[in-house]
């Protein structure tokens, strides 16, 4: 699926992590998609409460020394820009970069 700038998407399966820039998202991916049981792209919504998403964002914030937040699976994502697998989104009042991996599906 091609992600298009200006369109709304959602990901009901995951709390997606929002990185402050694509370089930080790239560093996180380079550190490993899984590290101590924590996904670098998001937290499965079905298996994890909001607490787990908050802990995951806090973990990556500490590891990379930059603020990482997350968005709720019900929050629509407005695509601002796309660079390969990195997608800049506005999710509610939060702006950040997500990693568009094959692990989850973005729906229009």
Token pair for 36: 């101590």
pLDDT band with cut points at 50, 70 and 90 for residue 27: confident
Predicted TM-score of the model (pTM): 0.81
69-91 residue pLDDT tens: 988 888 999 999 999 888 999 99
Among candidates 1, 6, 3, 2, which has minimal Cα distance to 80? 6
Among candidates 10, 2, 15, which has minimal Cα distance to 71? 15
Token pair for 1: 């699926």
The pLDDT of residue 44: 66
């Amino acid at each position: 699926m091609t992600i298009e700038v200006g369109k709304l998407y959602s990901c009901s399966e995951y709390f997606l992590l929002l990185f402050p820039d694509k370089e930080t998202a790239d560093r996180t991916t380079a550190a490993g998609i899984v590290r101590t049981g924590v996904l670098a792209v998001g937290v499965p919504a079905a298996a994890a409460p909001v607490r787990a998403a908050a802990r995951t964002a806090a973990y990556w914030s500490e590891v990379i020394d930059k603020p990482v937040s997350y968005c709720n699976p019900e929050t629509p994502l407005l695509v601002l820009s796309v660079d390969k697998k990195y997608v800049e989104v506005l999710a509610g009042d939060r702006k950040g970069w997500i990693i568009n991996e094959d692990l989850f599906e973005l729906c229009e």
